[in-house]
Structure 1
Amino acid sequence: MYSNLRWVASFQVILPMQASHPPNIKKKKSVQNYATRIVHTLQKEPNQAYTIQQLCTVLKVKIKSDKAKVKKVLLDLLQEGMIKKISKGRYLHPTAPIYITGRVDYVHTEYAYIVAPSQPKDVLVRQNNLLSALDNDLVKVCLLPTRGRRRPEGVVVEIIERNTIIGRVTVAGKQPQAIVEQKRMTYTVLLEKEPNLILQKNDKVVITLTSMLNRQGTGKVVQHLGQAGLHEVEMHAIMAEFGLKDTFPENVLESTQNIPLVITEEEITQRRDLRHIPTFTIDPADAKDFDDALSYQPLANGRHQVGIHIADVSHYVLPESLLDKEAYARNTSVYLVDRCIPMLPELLSNVVCSLRPNEPKLTLSAIFELDATGKIYDTWLGETIIYSDKRFSYEEAQAAIERQSGDFYQALTLLNHLAQQLRTKRSEKGAINFETRSLSFELDATGKPLQVMPKVRTDAHRLIEEFMLLANQAVATHVAKLKQKQEKEGPTFIYRTHDDPDPDKLHTFFLFVNQLGYKINSTNKPVYKAMHELEQMIQGKQEEHIIQALAIRSMAKALYTTKPDPHFALAFTHYTHFTSPIRRYSDLLAHRLLKKYLKGERIYDNASYEQKCQYAVERESLAVHAERASIKYKQVEFIQNLKEETLEGIISGLTEWNIYIEILSNGCEGMVRLADLTDDVYVFEADSFQVVGQRSKKCYRLGDIVKVKVKSCDLDKRHINFWLC
Structure 2
Amino acid sequence: MSKKNNKKRKNSGESPGRKTISAGQIKESVLHLFRQQSGKPWSIRQMIQTLGVRDKKSKNLVSEVAFRLEDEGIISRNRDGRFVSQQMPSALVGVVDHVNSRFAYIICAELDEDVYVKTDDLEFAVDGDTVKFELSGKFHGKKHREGRVTEIVQRKKDEFVGKLQLSKRFAFVIPDNRKIHNDIFVYPEHINNATTNDKVIVKIDRWHDRTNKSPVGKVVRVLGKAGENEAEIHSIMAEFDLPFTFPEEVISESDKISESIPEKEIAARRDFRGVTTFTIDPEDAKDFDDALSIKFLENGNYEIGVHIADVTHYVKEETILEKEAYSRATSVYLVDRTVPMLPEKLSNALCSLRPNEDKLTFSAVFEMESSGKIVNEWFGRTVIHSDRRFSYEEAQAVIEAGVGDYCNELKVFNDLAKLLKNKRYKNGAINFETIEVKFKLDEQGKPLGIVPKIRKDAHKLIEEFMLLANKRVAEFVFGQKTESGRKTFVYRTHDSPNEEKLHNFTLFAKKFGHKIDLTDENLSSTLNKLIDEIEGKPEQNVLTSLAIRSMAKAKYTTAANGHFGLAFPHYSHFTSPIRRYPDMMVHRLLAHYLKGGKSVEQDKYEPMCVHSSDMEKRAADAERASIKYKQVEFMSMAADKIFDGIVAGVTEWGIYVEIIETKCEGMVRLADLNDDYYEFDEQNYRIIGRNNKRMITLGDEVKVKVTNTDIDRRTIDLEFANEK
TM-score, normalised to structure 1's length?
0.83
Structure-to-structure mapping, 1:505-654, within 5 angstroms:
505-654=501-650
CA distance in structure 2 between the aligned counterparts of 1:693 and 1:391, rounded to whole angstroms: 59
**1:365 match:** 363
Question: Could you tell me which amino acid in structure 1 is paired with residue 493 of structure 2?
Answer: T
* More RCO (CA 8 Å, sep 6+): 1
Question: Could you tell me which amino acid in structure 2 is paired with residue 344 of structure 1?
Answer: L
CA distance in structure 1 between the aligned counterparts of 2:326 and 2:471, rounded to whole angstroms: 24
CA distance in structure 1 between the aligned counterparts of 2:714 and 2:86, rounded to whole angstroms: 43
Question: Could you tell me which amino acid in structure 2 is paired with residue 689 of structure 1?
Answer: Y
**2:653 match:** 657
Aligned to 1:546, what secondary structure does the other structure show? helix
**2:193 match:** 198
**1:494 match:** 490
CA distance in structure 1 between the aligned counterparts of 2:537 and 2:103, rounded to whole angstroms: 39
**1:436 match:** 434
State whether residues 520 and 526 of structure 2, in contact with CA within 8 Å, keep that contact through their aligned partners in structure 1.
no
Aligned to 2:438, what secondary structure does the other structure show? strand
Q: Quick one: which of 87, 92, 110 aligns to 1:94?
A: 87
**2:47 match:** none
**2:325 match:** 327
> What is the deviation of 1:282?
1.2
Question: Could you tell me which amino acid in structure 1 is paired with residue 101 of structure 2?
Answer: T
Q: Quick one: which of 159, 165, 171 aligns to 1:164?
A: 159
**1:352 match:** 350
> What is the deviation of 1:638?
0.7
Question: Could you tell me which amino acid in structure 2 is paired with residue 266 of structure 1?
Answer: K
Deviations 1:167-226 (A, max 9, x none): 211114553332224315432222244489322111111000111215511101110112
**2:181 match:** 186
CA 1:156 to 1:114, structure 2 compared with 1: closer, same or farther past 3 Å? farther
**1:57 match:** none
* 1:308 is aligned to 2:329: no
Deviations 1:447-481 (A, max 9, x none): 11111122111111111111111111011111111
State whether residues 329 and 341 of structure 2, in contact with CA within 8 Å, keep that contact through their aligned partners in structure 1.
yes
**1:378 match:** 376
> What is the deviation of 1:702?
2.9
State whether residues 125 and 155 of structure 1, in contact with CA within 8 Å, keep that contact through their aligned partners in structure 2.
no
Question: Could you tell me which amino acid in structure 2 is paired with residue 400 of structure 1?
Answer: V
Tell me whether 161-170 or 312-321 shows the greater mean CA deviation.
Answer: 161-170
State whether residues 132 and 152 of structure 2, in contact with CA within 8 Å, keep that contact through their aligned partners in structure 1.
yes
* 1:720 is aligned to 2:722: no
CA distance in structure 2 between the aligned counterparts of 1:196 and 1:108, rounded to whole angstroms: 28
Question: Could you tell me which amino acid in structure 1 is paired with residue 618 of structure 2?
Answer: L
Deviations 1:276-316 (A, max 9, x none): 11111111111111111111222221122211111111111
CA distance in structure 1 between the aligned counterparts of 2:544 and 2:491, rounded to whole angstroms: 25
Unaligned runs of 5+ in 2: 1-5, 7-11, 17-31, 40-69, 79-83
Q: Quick one: which of 183, 195, 208 aligns to 2:203?
A: 208
CA distance in structure 1 between the aligned counterparts of 2:541 and 2:390, rounded to whole angstroms: 28
Tell me whether 182-191 or 522-531 shows the greater mean CA deviation.
Answer: 182-191
Identity of aligned residues (%): 46
> What is the deviation of 1:558?
0.7
Question: Could you tell me which amino acid in structure 2 is paired with residue 360 of structure 1?
Answer: D
**1:29 match:** none
> What is the deviation of 1:639?
0.3
Structure-to-structure mapping, 1:105-144, within 5 angstroms:
105-113=97-105, 127=119, 132-136=124-128, 139=130
> What is the deviation of 1:264?
0.7
Deviations 1:530-574 (A, max 9, x none): 112212222232222222111111111111111000110100000
Aligned to 1:710, what secondary structure does the other structure show? strand
CA 1:140 to 1:614, structure 2 compared with 1: closer, same or farther past 3 Å? farther
Unaligned runs of 5+ in 1: 1-5, 7-18, 24-38, 50-80
CA distance in structure 2 between the aligned counterparts of 1:433 and 1:409, rounded to whole angstroms: 28
TM-score, normalised to structure 2's length?
0.83
**1:673 match:** 669
**1:291 match:** 289
CA distance in structure 1 between the aligned counterparts of 2:185 and 2:133, rounded to whole angstroms: 31
**2:27 match:** none
**1:702 match:** 698
**2:267 match:** 269
CA 1:258 to 1:644, structure 2 compared with 1: closer, same or farther past 3 Å? same
Deviations 1:52-87 (A, max 9, x none): xxxxxxxxxxxxxxxxxxxxxxxxxxxxx9x999x9
State whether residues 144 and 155 of structure 1, in contact with CA within 8 Å, keep that contact through their aligned partners in structure 2.
no
Question: Could you tell me which amino acid in structure 1 is paired with residue 679 of structure 2?
Answer: V
Question: Could you tell me which amino acid in structure 2 is paired with residue 708 of structure 1?
Answer: V
> What is the deviation of 1:718?
0.4
**1:227 match:** 225
Question: Could you tell me which amino acid in structure 1 is paired with residue 548 of structure 2?
Answer: I
Deviations 1:693-723 (A, max 9, x none): 3444433333332111111111111000100
> What is the deviation of 1:407?
1.2
**2:250 match:** 252
State whether residues 401 and 409 of structure 1, in contact with CA within 8 Å, keep that contact through their aligned partners in structure 2.
yes
State whether residues 704 and 718 of structure 2, in contact with CA within 8 Å, keep that contact through their aligned partners in structure 1.
yes
Computed over aligned residues only, the root mean square deviation of the Cα atoms, in angstroms, reads 3.4
> What is the deviation of 1:673?
1.4
**1:419 match:** 417
CA distance in structure 2 between the aligned counterparts of 1:144 and 1:494, rounded to whole angstroms: 38
State whether residues 556 and 612 of structure 2, in contact with CA within 8 Å, keep that contact through their aligned partners in structure 1.
yes
CA 1:255 to 1:118, structure 2 compared with 1: closer, same or farther past 3 Å? farther
CA distance in structure 2 between the aligned counterparts of 1:504 and 1:231, rounded to whole angstroms: 42
> What is the deviation of 1:404?
1.4
Deviations 1:584-633 (A, max 9, x none): 11111111111101110023311221111111111111111111111111
State whether residues 351 and 359 of structure 2, in contact with CA within 8 Å, keep that contact through their aligned partners in structure 1.
yes
CA 1:634 to 1:163, structure 2 compared with 1: closer, same or farther past 3 Å? farther
Question: Could you tell me which amino acid in structure 1 is paired with residue 271 of structure 2?
Answer: D
State whether residues 135 and 182 of structure 1, in contact with CA within 8 Å, keep that contact through their aligned partners in structure 2.
no
